[in-house]
Amino acid sequence: MSQQLRPTLLCIGLNHRTASLIRREESAFDPQTQVQTLQRVRAGEVPGIHQLVILSTCNRTELYAVTTPVEGHQTLQKAWEGLETLFQSHTRLSLEGLRDSSYCLSGLEAVWHLFQVAAGLDSVVIGEPQILGQLVRAYEQSRLLGTVDSFLSGVMQRAIRAGKRVRHETPLQTGAISISTVAVRLAQQSAGSLTEKRVLVIGAGKMARLAASALARQGIGALLVSNRSPESGAQFALEYGGQFFPWERLSEALTLAQVVISAFTVDAPRITPALLRQPSPDPDQPKLIIDLGLPRSVDPAVGAVPHIKLYDLGDLRQFAVQTITLRSTAIAQAEALLCEELQAWERWQSERSAVPAIRELYQQAQKTKQAYLLSLFADTPNLSPDQQAHIARSIHRQMQRGLHPLILNLKARAAGDLPLPKRL
């Protein structure tokens, strides 16, 4: 396979660095839309794209795709157009809004970006652990729906491997924090000590549990829990020693709480000024509300309600930036490890170009072996079937030994077609 026929990884996306919170909300893929989009790709409805992984989180939406060589050349431009149209058609962004807020990466640059995402180096909170699990789930979904083949599967698996190595072989995750723990730190900075305060956590998913764990470590006056599902909400409250409020009593819980951490997923804001009309039990103490949702679960108009301080993911990003400088050494070590993984991936990719030649070499060797055995057995008709089988196995082993150095040579030549990647 010549170099120009190699598959190329494409990435189009936007994240907390390139897009406002509003635009990230408008570009997020809900689970149903994500499945429908992958099904369209599997059905061949997107020109130039037959492989796709969609990564949609609270801080990024990214589509990873692979171009398919057609009639001796890559339809790169066609693939970009198809990918951009696919992205824009499933969001609330205009084409101009998408182009203003997104990035388009291809080839080694796209692979490097994917590795950084998997390692947590492209996150709001550097080194946060959640993104790797989110990437694994995105890859598994695409694999189950049939939108990854050997190339995209290979690069995804290598990125996941790189992310795991960074977490286990560097100090990047030592004292690692998540968005939820950043929210708790922000609450402490804004509201002071939480040891005497009632804190309401809305939701019962991963982010809500991380917040509850962080609150437990810091110590609070009382934990209140509310959730749309009474079963999971009550269980969550029981596990963390909190008081559960059914969804119909959310307004009551909001009134009682002095700090609110909203960590549930909705398609439109559910916490509105109307839910906060009851007087606060502490009129001299502003109520602090931190919204971890994307799309946002708290109506921005809540921020205009008297005696309420509202923070969202955009505010948390600014608060978390300070962690970057504290981890500069760990970041450098993580990037060096990613460079090793990138070189290993590129060598694997280069060696794949030798596969057709290796396959042809093996087929020719098989034909030669079969012709030799037929001639040998014709000249020695008195051999028993067991003797013939023993001779055939012996000759096959000799053929494998002879092919091994030739195959290694072909792979080495293929890998030498491209220089080792430099650190990007």
The residues annotated as belonging to the active site are 58
Contacts of 375 (CB under 8 A, 6+ apart): none
Ordered alpha helix ranges (H), 13-105: 21-27, 31-42, 76-89, 95-101
Q: Are 350 and 336 in contact (CB under 8 A)?
A: no
Nearest to 100 by CA among 22, 10, 48: 22
Q: What does the CA dihedral 305, 306, 307, 311 come to, rounded to 10 degrees?
A: 30
Check: CB of residue 174 under 8 Å from CB of residue 330: yes
Match 């012709």 to its residue by tokens: 371
How far is 345 from 331, CA to CA, in rounded Å?
21
Q: Determine the residue type at 117.
A: V
Query: What contacts 94, CB < 8 A, 6 or more positions away?
Result: 88
CA distance 218 to 235: 22
DSSP string, 254-305: HHH-SEEEE----SS--B-GGGG-SPPS-TTSPEEEEE--SS-SB-GGGGGS
CA angle 412, 344, 363 (to 5 degrees): 40
- In three-state secondary structure terms, 193 is coil
Own/partner contacts of 36-45, CB < 8 Å, gap of 24 or more, are 36/90, 37/86, 37/90, 38/141, 38/142, 38/145, 38/147, 39/145, 40/86, 41/65, 41/86, 41/147, 42/145, 42/146, 42/147
